[in-house]
Chain A
């Protein structure tokens, strides 16, 4: 592998407290040097002036759908979407068919991901067998096979005793249990947030409390057991406040928020727009503001996409029947820049931290930094680009996004995974 020199870019590397113009030298797939001026010495030179050079993004929450629903997404198309969006490491959620509840399925996903040669895949195993919420999976086997966390995502672990045991037992491994926090009884078959929009459309709503009640229960169980709770896709102010207070008390809890919950409210459902149908649902403005506040004050640890691809025909249906989910990998960075960096809520280094180093730290991955000797997973971002979201151009099979047609700022210009350029793959 030849060496590569990224010259004159603004290097944003929050892990090393770096934000300034530096040259970055890549050798043998690793970051070799980051210095003010490096001479090429035969390395291929990339002019990075006017661009940002950042670590590749890390997603804690990607649905790749393979095995089982290859019509929605394959590992190949999902990883192509990832690198298009600047993600060089993603966590694959276990709600596949069969569920990722045994080492065999984990190994299948890892092998397919290895063949794709794009973003690195870190599997999330299921907490319960078949994600049925009854019996615990073999945590030890799953972690040994490479899982970086466990989740029944899509469903909550509703049984309180089972959740208690899972949190307790997972302490052996020092890995997080990722909870899709929803009280299914209280959610009562809701298809969007319970509020004025749902009332107007005559759609069944689920209140914010169907999330926060479960967050409160899980925080109590995390405190009881000392287990590590990670709350997936926090959507409302009540959950943020509960987590904030629990962190203050020293409860071992982390959480994530999605770009769509930071950017949109239940108004996005408009007149039955199924592309804005997502679980947890888009909430009112005061919740959206509370999420941004929670992200800024550190209550919310990181940003995760909850990339949830579906087929066009499934989404092209009555609102009640259309599946929940947004195709999010290819818009995440730009949506966050629009919502956070342009209004000067976060700086570029703070945003990159929330999208790379912070999630990488939660899964113990050697990613999200430009440390000397680290794998050369990095991006060249054009911060001044403006582009229009055209879902038909997505690499993902999932073309459903409430951001379709929106003009967004900033674009990933070039991507390297472990030193190999994968731009446009």
Chain B
């Protein structure tokens, strides 16, 4: 399908970064390079033997300070399909409460000579902290409310795949923007690639001065749905009710839940996306999540290709001399 736009832009781009910490600091060319690389990796998962030797001999550590199933599994399979050795390390807060700092953990891993650290942490900035002190390449797998770059990249990949373009596309991100790393990474990625982004949710879930990130803000879901080519839902956390940011989940659903009725005014080619796991019946009704507009499972599939691409590039596969790999 129409990935021509990404392909032509990659002729001159090369991956020169040690780490992937966020989309904010990437250029549009670097983002296109990752998407283009992912395109070439996608076929691997469709073969009977789903493995290439690209990362043979490299050691990847899934360093997860916060529980995760989807992202961790996706990175694990991506690394395995590239023939890397991968270790899953779930560091519970208990070992940190014993006085060991994040950097202590990283220094120990460094001593074991690992090549790539895939880092997830509940606090914003931890991948940056680690990247600055570690020889290993660091991939941010989600840090607090800051960034989740591979999620946004797989979203971009899916949008490009389904809509065939990015420039001028109207994307509405709906829900808890304030606490969402997915929203932030997508805002950077989408705006860099020329999409028009609207964020939609109650004012209590909007971060300060969000419009200065180059997005339009609306509190009205119907308005957001009407114009959208893509509707990206975010998971609403139950804690938000406890911290008095929304009066209740019922009220939230009535105002901001995406139901089939709400989609009557939508464009026929509208894409419904969600980073998962879905709160069925809260931000998204089941019949919409499983309905014709939904590309939620395509997102998961594409996540694998995107993470293979990112692992490949930070491992040194994107140097100028083999940029056409």
Chain A residues within 8 Å of B, Cβ to Cβ? 194-196, 198-205, 207, 271-272, 313, 316-321
Cβ contacts under 8 Å, B123 to chain A: 318-321
Chain B residues within 8 Å of A, Cβ to Cβ? 24, 101-103, 121, 123-126, 128-129, 143-147, 181, 184, 207-210, 212-213
Bound CA span A316–B24, Å = 23
Cβ B124 vs Cβ A272 within 8 A: yes
Cβ B129 vs Cβ A199 within 8 A: no
Cβ contacts under 8 Å, A318 to chain B: 102, 121, 123-126, 129
Closest to B125 in A: A272
Kindly provide the distance from the CB of A190 to the nearest chain B CB, expressed in whole angstroms: 11
Bound CA span A270–B212, Å = 17
Cβ A202 vs Cβ B181 within 8 A: yes
Kindly provide the distance from the CB of A260 to the nearest chain B CB, expressed in whole angstroms: 20
Cβ B101 vs Cβ A196 within 8 A: no
Kindly provide the distance from the CB of B56 to the nearest chain A CB, expressed in whole angstroms: 34
Cβ contacts under 8 Å, A201 to chain B: 124-125, 146
Cβ contacts under 8 Å, B126 to chain A: 318
The main secondary structure of chain A at its interface with chain B is loop
Cβ B209 vs Cβ A199 within 8 A: yes
Cβ B208 vs Cβ A202 within 8 A: no
Cβ B208 vs Cβ A196 within 8 A: yes
Q: A202-B184, A271-B125, A317-B101 are in contact. Are A195 and B145 (CB under 8 A)?
A: no
Bound CA span A203–B147, Å = 11
Kindly provide the distance from the CB of B33 to the nearest chain A CB, expressed in whole angstroms: 22
Bound CA span A204–B122, Å = 12
Bound CA span A425–B324, Å = 62
Closest to B181 in A: A202
By Cβ-Cβ distance, the 4 closest A-B pairs, closest first, are A202-B146, A272-B125, A202-B145, A318-B123
Q: A272-B129, A313-B101 are in contact. Are A199 and B207 (CB under 8 A)?
A: yes
Closest to B206 in A: A199
Closest to B143 in A: A202
Cβ contacts under 8 Å, A195 to chain B: 208-209
Kindly provide the distance from the CB of B106 to the nearest chain A CB, expressed in whole angstroms: 11
Bound CA span A207–B209, Å = 12
Cβ contacts under 8 Å, B208 to chain A: 194-196, 198-199, 205, 207
14 A-B pairs, CB-CB below 8 angstroms? A196-B212, A199-B208, A201-B125, A201-B146, A202-B147, A202-B181, A202-B184, A203-B146, A271-B125, A316-B129, A318-B102, A318-B129, A320-B123, A320-B124
Kindly provide the distance from the CB of B278 to the nearest chain A CB, expressed in whole angstroms: 22
Cβ contacts under 8 Å, B146 to chain A: 201-203
Closest to A196 in B: B209
Kindly provide the distance from the CB of B151 to the nearest chain A CB, expressed in whole angstroms: 14
Cβ contacts under 8 Å, A198 to chain B: 207-208
A199-B213, A203-B144 given; name 16 further pairs at CB < 8 Å.
A194-B208, A199-B207, A200-B213, A201-B124, A201-B146, A202-B143, A202-B144, A203-B124, A203-B125, A271-B128, A272-B125, A272-B129, A317-B129, A318-B102, A318-B124, A319-B124
Bound CA span A272–B130, Å = 12
Bound CA span A87–B218, Å = 53
Cβ contacts under 8 Å, A196 to chain B: 208-209, 212
Closest to B144 in A: A202
Closest to B99 in A: A313
Cβ contacts under 8 Å, B184 to chain A: 200, 202
Cβ contacts under 8 Å, B145 to chain A: 202-204
Bound CA span A102–B167, Å = 68
Picked from B102, B103, B128, the residue with its CB within 8 Å of the CB of A272 is B128
Closest to B184 in A: A202
Kindly provide the distance from the CB of B45 to the nearest chain A CB, expressed in whole angstroms: 31
Kindly provide the distance from the CB of B245 to the nearest chain A CB, expressed in whole angstroms: 10
Bound CA span A313–B145, Å = 24
Cβ contacts under 8 Å, A200 to chain B: 24, 184, 213
Cβ contacts under 8 Å, A317 to chain B: 101-103, 129
Closest to A194 in B: B208
Kindly provide the distance from the CB of A273 to the nearest chain B CB, expressed in whole angstroms: 9
Kindly provide the distance from the CB of B4 to the nearest chain A CB, expressed in whole angstroms: 33
Kindly provide the distance from the CB of B299 to the nearest chain A CB, expressed in whole angstroms: 21
Bound CA span A319–B126, Å = 8
Cβ B210 vs Cβ A199 within 8 A: yes
Closest to A316 in B: B103
Cβ contacts under 8 Å, B124 to chain A: 201-203, 272, 318-320
Cβ contacts under 8 Å, B128 to chain A: 271-272
Cβ contacts under 8 Å, B207 to chain A: 198-199, 205
Cβ contacts under 8 Å, A205 to chain B: 207-208
Bound CA span A203–B129, Å = 15
Bound CA span A196–B129, Å = 21
Bound CA span A196–B206, Å = 12
Cβ contacts under 8 Å, B212 to chain A: 196, 199
Cβ contacts under 8 Å, B24 to chain A: 200
Name, among A204, A318, A320, the residue most crowded by chain B CB atoms within 10 Å (CB to CB).
A318
Bound CA span A271–B24, Å = 11
Cβ contacts under 8 Å, B181 to chain A: 202
Cβ contacts under 8 Å, A203 to chain B: 124-125, 144-146
Name, among B101, B181, B209, the residue most crowded by chain A CB atoms within 10 Å (CB to CB).
B209
Bound CA span A204–B207, Å = 9
